[in-house]
Amino acid sequence: MLLFAIATLMPAALIAFGVAYGGVATALGLIYMTVFVALLDQLVAREAVNADPEAEFPGSTALLATLGVVHFALLALAVWAVAGPGALGLAERALIGVAAALVFGQISHPVAHELIHKPSRALRLMGRLIYTSLLIGHHASAHLRVHHVHVASHRDPNSPPLGQGFYRFALSAATRSFRAGHAVETVMLARAGRPGWRHPYLLYVGGGLGCILLTDLALGMVGVVIYLVICLYAQMQIYLSDYVQHYGLRRKTRADGSLEPVGPQHSWNAPHWYSSALMLNAPRHSDHHVTPSRPYPALQLRSEDMPILPRPLPVMAAIALFPPLWRRIMDKRAARWA
């Protein structure tokens, strides 16, 4: 657990240090999230180790809750530092904003993802609020009710088919996942006989509008614009994560027309040790889909039956921004798992 704590808490501390001292210090968070993580992945030889899948990890939930609190504090600090009346220059503000958005997309997202899978109602709510604060609250419903059910099929908006570029995928997934999640939640609400005010989309939309209003009251329209830009950057990384981890992989249709069960061959994985710790083992994605209730420290990785990415997940996400290069690297690899 110590490695997870160090990897995930360090960037927030570095960003806060940069806000406090300015100058070169404002670059530390961005350097950590990009150069430092990539160097540790590549230069430090460390074999991926599988923890006992039946082991207990009492500190794992406490770390998630801590990171949830850190997320909200960092979001407020980042928006204030970039849009507020502080002494930071334009370049310094940009460095803080980009670094914070990377943290929200690569750390807060896995944190919220883990939280919405927890049995505790309070923890699930924290996960939903994290997504809501990034103006993508519906992802909590779409992920649980749509993605896990229909993953690696055309019914899942967040499972890109072979040949689809990232930008086309993101535009489609953003609208389709919102509608699909809403439809499922509406049906579930009606079946349970619950009143309309219990619909989770009221939290997602109302909470998002509330965050925008609070930002406007505190920092004016400049603050709102900065907040929206940071959220959009974080959302792009969330969609990049789904894109990279499911690109071109499809479940086969059985004789009766139903889809085969979800297996380890239906998600891309990455064995790189430090970026995996940074993202709470999110790159061990196959095992999460096969056993969604398994805590993140116990997620398993097997190269023999799980598709493996050629580079760490953050690097592959950057490559996905250039569709021709992405397809040159990934299409043949995806075809082998067809």
Could you read off the pLDDT tens digit of each residue along the chain, which spans 338 residues? Answer: 889 999 999 999 999 999 999 999 999 999 999 999 999 998 876 777 888 777 778 889 999 999 999 999 999 999 999 999 988 999 999 999 999 999 999 999 999 999 999 999 999 999 999 999 999 999 999 999 999 999 999 999 999 999 999 999 999 999 999 999 999 999 999 998 889 899 999 999 999 999 999 999 999 999 999 999 999 999 999 999 999 999 999 999 988 888 999 999 999 999 999 999 999 999 999 999 999 989 999 999 998 899 999 999 999 999 999 999 999 999 999 999 97
| 3 state DSSP class of 119 | coil
Residue 1, pLDDT score: 83
Give a yes or no: residue 154 inside a domain: yes
Task: Give CA 207 to chain center in angstroms.
Answer: 19
Which contacts qualify for 212-218: CB closer than 8 Å, 24 or more apart?
A: 212/135, 215/79, 218/80
Q: pTM of this prediction?
A: 0.95
In 10 A of CB 160, how many CB atoms? 26
CA–CA separation, 115 vs 88, rounded Å? 34
Residue 45, pLDDT score: 65
Residue 44, pLDDT score: 78
CA–CA separation, 250 vs 13, rounded Å? 40
Residues 6 or more apart whose CB falls under 8 angstroms from that of 263 comprise 251, 286, 290
Residue 55, pLDDT score: 73
Residue 56, pLDDT score: 73
Total domain count, the chain: 1
Give a yes or no: residue 251 inside a domain: no
Give a yes or no: residue 39 inside a domain: yes
Give a yes or no: residue 279 inside a domain: yes
Q: Which domain holds residue 206?
A: 2-47+58-246+258-335
Residues 294, 287 contacting (CB under 8 angstroms): yes
Residue 93, pLDDT score: 97
Give a yes or no: residue 319 inside a domain: yes
Give a yes or no: residue 52 inside a domain: no
